[in-house]
């Protein structure tokens, strides 16, 4: 008989549903020592909170997230609200002795992210961020190839993250164009590629950035227009601790791109290519192959790529985005159990990612290289 762990969920939009699915499925997929019990759900509107609690299977609902945090039956809090609300909610949960699973990024302001890290240190509970892409079994396979030296020393990296939800110039001015909500593509997107860098090769030691706005203004509801304050595009040159160079490009206005995180890693003896839009495959080229058959080979995800086999025994059938969240949930449960090997971006590592983003923004302002260390 496994012990239970009481779950609280704040926010029930895109990510809220994703967390609810993960909490519901993690036991069936991983059979954890602690079985999640869906205890309390918070939404901004009481009626929506009650409806979502019924849909997702939570016992209680509230429009006051502090009530959820004060609930003694809640052991772990999923925070899936807009970025600006993360610090207050995460710090309150940590001060109440709860474990926290907070969506990325930590906070718009670096000082608030640091306060969240400090609260996690003081609480001593598990505090992790929603960096689901690192959980892909194929990203783990890339990590394995790098670790085994399959492509030799990394000489160059390129990462591009592109989507098109800001591509239409006629879409109205909203929070994504409002500077009060952050820099734009840098904190919306760049944090994800940085989480991948963090597990694959480490974060950059210095960066130089140029950001741009595809549209200077967007229409407003009253028939006028308002100047866009955020940058939908950011281009970053970076240097790794090893001295290898890299390029990171992020664009929220790239027509036709829906969930692209394209990673190219070039090494002294080979190359690795991956794209999140084809998340069940990795391209691998080895200069050590027989020249007669040399070429990129496609490795399809299968049970050889842990934890793929937990979901489906047949290779090549594929995992999906929500499965990454289930894996992240299982890793969080390992962290809660004190397993130092849990594969998570905790608030300590998360703060390093936030600092990289703010360094990139400072570089855009100054026009020069900015050191991260």
- 44 is a site residue for ligand NAD (CB under 6 A): yes
Find the helix or strand (DSSP H, E) in which 308 lies: helix 308-311
Q: How far apart are CA 105 and CA 86, in angstroms?
A: 9
Query: What string marks each residue from 59 to 78 as x (binds ligand NAD by CB under 6 A) or -?
Result: ------x-------------
Interacting span for ligand NAD (CB under 6 A) from 80-88, 265-273, 306-314, 340-348: 80-88
- 90 or 272, CB closer to ligand NAD? 90
Q: How far is the CB of 14 from ligand NAD (least distance, A)?
A: 4
CB 337 within 8 A of CB 37: no
What's the length of the chain?
373
- 266 or 347, CB closer to ligand NAD? 347
Q: How far is the CB of 177 from ligand NAD (least distance, A)?
A: 16
Cis peptide before 105, with omega less than 30 degrees from 0?
yes
Structure tokens, 166: 């800001």
Q: How far is the CB of 207 from ligand NAD (least distance, A)?
A: 21
Q: Which of 7, 30, 40, 43 binds ligand NAD (CB under 6 A)?
A: 43
Size of the site for ligand NAD (CB under 6 A): 20
Query: Could you give the C-alpha distances from 277 to 39, 118, 193, in angstroms and in order?
Result: 34, 36, 14
Q: Which of 1, 3, 14, 341 binds ligand NAD (CB under 6 A)?
A: 14
Q: How far is the CB of 107 from ligand NAD (least distance, A)?
A: 9
In the complex, residue closest to ligand NAD by CB: 13
Q: Which of 42, 93, 196, 211 binds ligand NAD (CB under 6 A)?
A: 42
Interacting span for ligand NAD (CB under 6 A) from 26-34, 82-90, 136-144, 203-211: 82-90
Q: Which of 132, 136, 253, 276 binds ligand NAD (CB under 6 A)?
A: 132
Q: How far apart are CA 215 and CA 212, in angstroms?
A: 9
Q: Which of 5, 7, 9, 11 binds ligand NAD (CB under 6 A)?
A: 11
Q: How far is the CB of 224 from ligand NAD (least distance, A)?
A: 25
Structure tokens, 88: 């207050």
Q: How far apart are CA 38 and CA 56, in angstroms?
A: 8
Q: 210: buried, middle or exposed (CB in 10 Å: 19+, 13-18, 0-12)?
A: middle
- 82 is a site residue for ligand NAD (CB under 6 A): yes
Q: How far is the CB of 174 from ligand NAD (least distance, A)?
A: 11
Q: How far is the CB of 167 from ligand NAD (least distance, A)?
A: 17
- 104 is a site residue for ligand NAD (CB under 6 A): yes
- 51 or 239, CB closer to ligand NAD? 51
Angle at 257 (CA atoms; ends 254, 260), nearest 5 degrees: 115
Beta strands in the chain (DSSP E): 3-10, 34-42, 60-62, 76-79, 99-102, 127-129, 154-162, 206-212, 217-219, 225-227, 233-239, 245-251, 260-267, 270-275, 281-286, 297-300, 370-371
Q: How far is the CB of 56 from ligand NAD (least distance, A)?
A: 12
Dihedrals phi, psi of 340, to nearest 5 degrees: -65, -20
CB 247 within 8 A of CB 200: no
- 81 is a site residue for ligand NAD (CB under 6 A): yes
Q: How far apart are CA 200 and CA 203, in angstroms?
A: 9
Return residues touching ligand NAD (CB under 6 A): 10-16, 42-44, 65, 80-83, 85, 103-104, 130, 132
């Amino acid at each position: 008989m496994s012990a239970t762990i009481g779950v609280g969920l704040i926010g029930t939009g895109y990510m809220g549903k994703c967390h609810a699915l993960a909490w519901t499925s993690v036991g069936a997929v991983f059979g954890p020592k602690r079985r999640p019990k869906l205890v309390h759900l918070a939404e901004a509107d009481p009626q929506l909170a009650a409806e979502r609690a019924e849909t997702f299977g939570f016992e209680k609902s509230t429009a006051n997230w502090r009530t959820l945090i004060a609930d003694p039956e809640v052991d772990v809090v999923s925070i899936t609200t807009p970025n600006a609300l993360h610090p207050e909610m995460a710090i309150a949960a940590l001060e109440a002795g709860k474990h926290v699973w907070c969506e990325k990024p930590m906070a718009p302001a670096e000082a608030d992210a640091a306060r969240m890290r400090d609260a996690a240190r003081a609480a001593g509970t598990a505090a992790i961020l929603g960096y689901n892409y690192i959980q892909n079994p194929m990203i783990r396979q890339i990590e394995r190839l790098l670790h085994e030296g399959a492509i030799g020393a990394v000489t160059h990296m390129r990462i591009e993250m592109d989507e098109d939800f800001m591509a239409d110039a006629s879409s109205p001015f909203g929070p994504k164009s409002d500077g009060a909500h952050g820099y734009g593509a840098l904190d919306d997107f760049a944090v994800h590629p940085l989480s991948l860098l963090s597990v694959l090769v480490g974060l950059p030691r210095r960066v130089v950035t140029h950001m741009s706005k595809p549209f200077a203004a967007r229409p407003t509801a009253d028939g006028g227009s308002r100047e866009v304050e955020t940058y939908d595009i950011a281009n970053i040159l970076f240097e790794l601790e090893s001295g290898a160079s890299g390029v990171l490009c992020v664009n929220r206005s790239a027509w036709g791109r829906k969930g692209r995180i394209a990673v190219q890693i070039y090494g002294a003896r080979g190359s690795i290519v991956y794209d999140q839009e084809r998340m069940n495959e990795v391209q691998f080229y080895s200069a050590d192959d027989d020249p007669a058959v040399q070429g990129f080979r496609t490795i399809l995800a299968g049970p050889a790529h842990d934890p793929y086999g937990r979901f489906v025994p047949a290779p090549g059938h594929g995992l999906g985005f929500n499965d990454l969240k289930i894996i992240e949930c299982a890793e969080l449960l390992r962290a809660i159990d004190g397993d130092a090997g849990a594969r998570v971006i905790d608030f300590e590592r998360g703060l390093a990612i936030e600092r990289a983003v703010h360094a990139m923004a400072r570089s855009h302002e100054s026009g020069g290289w900015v050191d991260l260390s």
